[in-house]
Amino acid sequence: MRRNTTQRMAIEEVFRQNDRPLGVDEVLAYGRKLVESLNQATVYRNLKLLVDDGRLKRVTHPSLGTMYERTGKGHHHHFYCRACNHAYELPGCALNEDEIAPDGFVVEDHDVFLFGICPSCVR
Partner DNA sequence: TTTTTTTGCGAAATCAATTGCAATAAAAGC
Partner DNA sequence: GCTTTTATTGCAATTGATTTCGCAAAAAAA
Backbone angles phi, psi at 12, to 5 degrees: -65, -40
Amino acid of residue 41: A
What mask of x and - would describe binding to its own copies in positions 39 to 68, judged by CB under 8 A? --------------------xxxxx-----
Q: Answer yes or no whether residue 113 interacts with its own copies by CB under 8 A.
A: yes
The distance of closest approach from Cβ of residue 8 to its own copies in the complex, given in angstroms and rounded to an integer, is 27
The CB density around residue 22, as the number of other CB atoms within 10 Å, is: 26
Is 88 within 8 Å of 79 (Cβ atoms)?
yes
Residues 58-77 that bind DNA (CB under 7 A): 65-66
Site residues (vs its own copies, CB under 8 A): 59-63, 77, 79, 82, 88, 90, 92, 94-96, 99-119, 122
